[in-house]
């Protein structure tokens, strides 16, 4: 048996496929995690580029398509361009069914339990969805006989670096994850590399450093800060409680990063790339900049769990530390080196740290004001 024969598993769905080159001429994307921050920006990008976009959404008793609302309405005008399918990364049969019916040319695996702190409380679930979920999606591609036809993007993460081994962190920096989330994503990273090497799949890891936006989930630190700062400036909230203020992150804008994801799948061959800004900032700096953007100057006092920030104008304490938000193991410092992506993909982030903070604060102030108006 040749190595190529050994790599084949029987395709349960007999598709009448053209050659990979012919197949790739169609532009059909399938996105897991389409309802998340990155999913919504990526959908906009791909629709603008003329793709037909399919997304996997979870059934929920509450509304989970808010970030897609503006695109979904458009669907009535372009019904063949954008379609959502119920599914879950824990359900293999469902993934096979979706891939067989959509026949995507590109798959973006963005679906994940993506909160690091939550992963300590839901470790097994996070391992199942973030780690094994990636395997299920890759195997669904093979089961459909599409392993030579589909291009696959995996949402890998700077959390793989975890404990600081070297900075700046690049594609060659050793991994040392520090959470169940990081460990699950480590499995996903390597299974992507393995399927590329074993089966010749066009599969890429984008090792993305933190990226934020006004659409960022509300429990991640940046959005938690900008929302609270806006509410405090309007007198709707008195104090913001945070965990580790000294952690340093390399924060970029999500819209810039989804462009890098797409670029990775347009290359002649598959590889792994870091996307980062090359700058790092402590959480405390994000707090200061957010309040400053609203005209509030802070005075910091104390240290550790006793540390507080007072609004200089009012004398009121507006930021306190709550150990509830500390993690059992922390990632102290992330600083990425995006040189490979800049050189090979021609990718460069456009939005800098100050503009990111300003955009997020402005958006949260606007929505806080409109809520106040609605209540009046
Ligand atoms: P979000 O948390 O905003 O979105 C996560 C998405 O995954 C949501 O659509 C969510 O659905 C979906 N999801 C969760 N569980 C499942 C499941 N069991 N099956 C299918 N879908 C599921 O994350 P981001 O958009 O910020 O990040 C996108 C990806 O990139 C994630 O994999 C994340 O781990 C990774 N990443 C993010 C970085 C960042 O800074 N944002 C940096 C590096 C990597 P629902 O809306 O129903 O909850
Ligand atoms: P992170 O993002 O863990 O880097 O993962 P998060 O915004 O949650 O934390 C960043 C840093 O801020 C510290 N922190 C707090 N964090 C939260 N969420 N809430 C707080 O109150 C708080 N106070 C301080 C944290 O300890 C941490 O050091 C994000 C996610 O998007 C992952 O999916 C992604 O893989 C990585 O970024 C890259």
Rounded distance between C-alpha atoms, residue 93 and residue 104, angstroms: 17
Pick the catalytic residue from 105, 143, 157, 222.
157
Rounded distance between C-alpha atoms, residue 133 and residue 235, angstroms: 43
Predicted model pTM: 0.96
Query: Which domains, ranges and CATH numbers included, belong to the chain?
Result: 3-208 (3.40.50.720), 221-249+281-330+352-375 (3.90.25.10)
277 noted as active-site residue: no
The residue to which tokens 């119920």 are assigned: 86
Q: What does pLDDT average to in each consecutive run of 10 residues of the chain (376 residues)?
A: 51 72 95 98 97 97 93 71 96 98 98 98 98 98 97 98 97 98 99 98 98 98 98 98 98 98 98 98 98 98 97 98 98 98 98 98 96 68
Nearest to 206 by CA among 140, 257, 164: 257
Contacts 24+ apart (CB under 8 A), 119-122: 119/179, 119/180, 119/181, 119/182, 119/184, 120/179, 120/180, 120/327, 120/328, 122/180
Pick the catalytic residue from 106, 159, 212, 359.
159
Residues with CB under 6 A from ligand 2: 114, 116-117, 157-159, 209-210, 219-222, 224, 242-244, 247, 249, 283, 325, 327, 330-331
Ligand 2 atom closest to Cα of residue 222: 7
Rounded distance between C-alpha atoms, residue 191 and residue 213, angstroms: 30
Asked if residue 24 lies in contact with residue 105, where contact means CB atoms within 8 angstroms, the answer is yes
Asked if residue 26 lies in contact with residue 105, where contact means CB atoms within 8 angstroms, the answer is yes
The ipTM estimated for the assembled molecules is: 0.99
64 CB within 6 A, ligand 1: yes
The reported pLDDT for the residue numbered 376 is 59
Three-class SS of 167-178: CCECCCCCCCCC
Classified as helix, coil or strand, 229 is helix
Asked if residue 196 lies in contact with residue 216, where contact means CB atoms within 8 angstroms, the answer is no
Rounded distance between C-alpha atoms, residue 163 and residue 247, angstroms: 12
The reported pLDDT for the residue numbered 375 is 67
Nearest to 49 by CA among 71, 68, 70, 28: 28
Nearest to 240 by CA among 202, 190, 203, 291: 291
157 noted as active-site residue: yes
13 noted as active-site residue: no
The reported pLDDT for the residue numbered 92 is 98
274 CB within 6 A, ligand 1: no
- Which residue out of 113, 116, 277, 280 has the highest number of ligand 2 atoms within 8 Å of its CB and is therefore the one to mutate? 116
Ligand 2 atom closest to Cα of residue 114: 33
Sign, Cα dihedral of 230, 116, 92, 1: positive
Question: pLDDT tens across 97-127, in order?
Answer: 999 999 999 999 999 999 999 999 999 999 9
Ligand 1 atom closest to Cα of residue 129: 18
* Straight-line distance from the first to the last Cα atom of the chain, in angstroms, rounded to the nearest whole number: 75
């Amino acid at each position: 048996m040749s190595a190529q024969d050994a790599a084949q598993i029987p395709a349960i769905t007999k598709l009448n496929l053209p050659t990979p080159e012919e197949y790739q001429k169609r532009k059909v994307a399938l996105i897991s995690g389409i309802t998340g921050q990155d999913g919504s920006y990526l959908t906009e990008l791909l629709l603008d580029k003329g793709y037909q976009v399919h997304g996997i959404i979870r059934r929920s008793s509450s509304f989970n398509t808010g970030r897609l609302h503006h695109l979904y309405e458009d669907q009535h005008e372009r019904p063949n361009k954008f379609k959502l399918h119920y599914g879950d990364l824990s359900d293999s049969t469902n993934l096979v069914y979706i891939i067989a019916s959509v026949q995507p040319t590109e798959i973006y695996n963005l679906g994940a339990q993506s909160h690091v702190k939550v992963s300590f409380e839901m470790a097994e679930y996070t391992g199942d969805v973030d780690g094994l979920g990636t395997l299920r999606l890759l195997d669904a591609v093979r089961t459909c006989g599409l392993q030579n036809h589909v291009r696959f993007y995996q949402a890998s993460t700077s959390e793989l670096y975890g404990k600081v081994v070297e900075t700046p962190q690049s594609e060659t920096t050793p991994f040392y994850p520090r959470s169940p989330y990081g460990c699950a994503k480590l499995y996903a990273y390597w299974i992507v590399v393995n399927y590329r090497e074993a089966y010749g799949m066009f599969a890429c890891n984008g090792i993305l450093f933190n990226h934020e936006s006004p659409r960022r989930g509300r429990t991640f630190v940046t959005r938690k800060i900008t929302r609270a700062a806006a509410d405090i400036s309007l007198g709707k909230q008195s104090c913001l409680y945070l965990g580790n203020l000294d952690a340093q992150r390399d924060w970029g804008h999500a819209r810039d990063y989804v462009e890098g994801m797409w670029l990775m799948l347009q290359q002649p061959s598959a590889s792994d790339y870091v996307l980062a800004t090359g700058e790092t900032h402590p959480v405390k700096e994000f707090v200061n900049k957010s309040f400053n953007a609203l005209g509030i100057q802070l005075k910091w006092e104390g240290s550790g769990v006793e540390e507080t920030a007072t609004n200089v104008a009012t004398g009121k304490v507006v930021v306190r530390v709550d150990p509830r938000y500390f993690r059992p193991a922390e990632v102290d410092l992330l600083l990425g080196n995006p040189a490979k992506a800049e050189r090979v993909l021609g990718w460069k982030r456009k939005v800098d740290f100050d503009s990111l903070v300003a955009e997020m604060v402005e958006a949260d102030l606007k929505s806080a004001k409109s809520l106040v108006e609605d209540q009046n």
